[in-house]
A and B are shown apart, each in its own frame.
Chain A
Amino acid sequence: MKTLLNNIQLQLTLQRLAHQLVENHNNFSNTVIIGIQPRGILLSDRIVKMVKTITCNNNISYGKLDITFYRDDVHTTSDIQLPSETDISFNIEGKRVILIDDVLHTGRTIRSAMDALIDFGRPAGVELLVLVDRRFSRELPIHPDYTGYTVDTILTQKVKVYWQEKDGKDEVVLIDKK
């Protein structure tokens, strides 16, 4: 197991990502943020909080999207996936959407998320923010617009992001699996 980002590095990275968002979206008047369930929302919760502080705007539209029913591997994995909650209480029609997930690997989750998103309306544009980009492992032509950390990995490895709220510590690690 190798630490990719420790507590302090993670804070700096999150700050940078939040500032990059504000740089491109000003006061978020026409932009919404959507975190991907289940682990992406731990990241989006943090980012949204930081963006609110930086912009002094407390009315940023923020939703949570579950993509279970849109996956392309419903019947190829042994057990059926159980869904988490989807909570998008605003209209995304004509809005600029920032999708947030913790780790980008094959790109299939993001593909599902875009399908799910389109069922809620036609956004003006969709951007992708990820904390860790496992490059060279993509199976679909998907590329992040905002990247926290880029890492080269092989298939048997796993990137795990730990959050204080859920796991009791802030850390990003690379795990070697047999």
Chain B
Amino acid sequence: MLSVKHLLGIREITAEDIALIFRTADNFKQVLQRPIKKVPSLRDTTVANVFFENSTRTRLSFELAEKRLGADVVNFSASSSSVSKGETLIDTVKNILAMKVDMVVMRHAASGAPWFLANHINASIINAGDGTNEHPTQALLDAYSMREKIGDLNGKHIAIIGDIMHSRVALSNIYCLTKLGAKVTVAGPPTLIPKHIQSMGVRVEYNLKKALEWCDVANVLRIQLERQHKPLFSTLREYALYYGVSRSMLDSLNKEILIMHPGPINRGVELNSDVADSGQSIILDQVENGVAIRMAVVYLLSGKRDNIE
């Protein structure tokens, strides 16, 4: 059993929870290989996907996961809703729950929004990304994909490269990987790495080449221009020159490392096309595993419903 009722962040779950989610995801991955990629476990469950921020991959992945578990799904996006008329977060979600929804998957631009919601409603909440804080299912599918390629992550070297400051993927990845025993280095320009991040048990590296030489897996993050309210590097071209991962740089290493990216990719900025589309890149495996991981999370949390009523 999971030790939590909601999946708000990786910070709150244990290594045992992560192992259980991975084990369950193995079973769902096998279901996804069948001619009928669907099981009826959650046909008595309704899930609302509440997205206050744009998303393609995560939302599609959650929706597919829920549908393949047999759940009913309602989708909600802030841009086409009463939120634009000034409705508050709690009112919006309480109204959705009044229509007998059992579980809420939420993405919100404000860090901490799902925690706030968890204090006010009874349904299980899955955080699909909150501001610059956490994106737990992304971290789970990242670690699951790494484990699938290089085995147990205990002692493995993982580099997280790019915009650490604004990235919820980075934070969740750090929590998840360190809980699994991996050694983590964050790399990027000094302006994009938060102060005191070493206190989370990670190393900091400002030189991309050195970080790549050290690691077994490089998880390259997107430059989040929409969250940068003041200039933190001079131009994208300069960033690409110093921190973009290119074919020639990978070829100059004396080993083959795995390249990951949570998407969407800024091609030619943090990742060149000749890297993103190469055999070293497992970006599409990440997307494939995303559905299995989300099926596992939704399935395991759906059992927590009895405590509510």
**Interface residue B258 (Cβ < 8 Å from any Cβ of A):** no
For residue A158, CB closer than 8 A to chain B, the reply is no
Q: Please, which residues of chain A bring their CB within 8 A of the CB of B40? A: 69-70, 115
| Of the residues A68, A75, A82, A119, contact of B35 by C-beta under 8 Å | A119
- Known pairs A70-B41, A78-B306; A83 contacts B27 (CB<8 A): yes
Q: Which of A69, A75, A115, A121 contacts B44 (CB 8 A)?
A: A75
Report if B36 contacts A (CB, 8 A).
Answer: yes
Specify which chain A residues have a CB less than 8 angstroms from the CB of B36 in the assembled complex.
119-120
Pick the contact of A86 from B23, B27, B69, B304 — CB < 8 Å? B27
B contact residues around A116 at 8 Å (CB): 39
B237 at the interface (CB under 8 A from A): no
Within 8 Å CB of B20, what residues of A? 82
Residue from the list B1, B23, B24, B39 in contact with A79, Cβ < 8 A: B1
A116 CA to B70 CA in the complex, in Å?
A: 13
**Interchain CB contact under 8 A, A66 and B27:** yes
Size of the A side of the interface (Cβ < 8 Å), in residues, is 19
Taking A69-B40, A119-B34, A119-B38 as contacts, is the C-beta distance between A75 and B45 under 8 angstroms? yes
Closest residue of chain B to A76 (Cβ to Cβ) is B306
* Beta-carbon contact of B300 and A80 below 8 Å: yes
Q: A118-159 vs B: 1/0 string, CB under 8 Å?
A: 011100000000000000000000000000000000000000
Number of interface residues of B (CB under 8 A): 25
- Nearest-CB distance from B67 to chain A (Å)? 14
A16 at the interface (CB under 8 A from B): no
A-B CB pair tally, cutoff 8 Å: 55
A176 at interface, CB cutoff 8 A: no
Contact in complex: A121, B302 (CB < 8 Å): no
Of all chain A residues, the one with the shortest Cβ separation from B26 is A85
Chain B contacts for A120, CB-based, 8 A = 34-36
Tell me whether B306 and A70 are in contact (CB under 8 A): no
Q: Given that A75-B303, A80-B302, A86-B30 are contacting pairs, would A70 and B39 also be in contact in the complex, using a CB cutoff of 8 Å?
A: yes
Which residues of chain A are near B243, meaning CB under 8 Å? none
B31 on the interface (CB 8 Å rule)? yes
Kindly state the separation between the CA atoms of A70 and B299 in the bound complex, as whole angstroms.
Answer: 12
Contact with A along B5-34 (1 / 0, CB 8 A): 000000000000000100110010011001
List B contacts of A82 (CB < 8 A): 20, 23-24
When chains A and B are docked, how far (Å) is the Cα of A121 from the Cα of B34?
10
Please, which residues of chain B bring their CB within 8 A of the CB of A68? Answer: 27, 41
Tell yes or no: A74 within 8 A of B by CB.
Answer: yes
Return the contact of B302 from the options A66, A70, A71, A74 (Cβ within 8 A): A74
Residue interface mask B60-88, A partner, CB < 8 A = 1: 00000000010000000000000000000
Pair A71/B27 contact, Cβ less than 8 Å: no
Which residues of A lie under 8 Å from residue B30 when comparing CB positions?
Answer: 85-86
Tell me whether B93 is interfacial, beta carbon within 8 Å. no
Interface centre among A74, A78, A119 (most CB of B within 10 A): A74
**Bound CA span A80–B299, Å:** 8
How far is it, in angstroms, between the C-alpha of A75 and the C-alpha of B30 when the chains are bound?
Answer: 23
**With A and B bound together, what is the CA distance between A75 and B69 in angstroms?**
13
Q: Does B305 contact A (CB under 8 A)?
A: yes
Among residues of B, the one whose C-beta sits closest to the C-beta of A69 is B39
Report the minimal beta-carbon distance from B205 to chain A, rounded to whole angstroms: 40
Contact with A along B282-309 (1 / 0, CB 8 A): 0000000000000000011011111000
B192 at interface (Cβ–Cβ under 8 A)?
A: no
Query: Are the CB atoms of B302 and A75 closer together than 8 Å?
Result: yes
Asked whether A75 and B306 contact (CB < 8 A) given A69-B39, A119-B38, the answer is yes
Interface: B42 (CB within 8 A): yes
- The distance in angstroms between the C-alpha atoms of A74 and B306, with both chains bound, is 11
Shortest C-beta distance, A67 to chain B (Å), equals 10
B31–A69 touching, CB < 8 Å: yes
Chain A residues with CB below 8 A from B24, complex form = 82-83
A-B contact pairs, 19 of them (CB 8 A): A69-B27, A69-B31, A69-B39, A69-B40, A71-B41, A74-B44, A74-B302, A75-B45, A79-B303, A80-B299, A80-B304, A82-B24, A86-B27, A86-B30, A115-B40, A116-B39, A119-B38, A119-B39, A120-B36
Q: Which residues of A come within 8 Å of B, CB atoms? A: 66, 68-71, 74-75, 78-80, 82-83, 85-86, 115-116, 119-121
The 7 lowest CB-CB distance pairs between A and B, nearest first, are: A80-B303, A69-B39, A119-B36, A69-B41, A83-B27, A74-B41, A79-B1
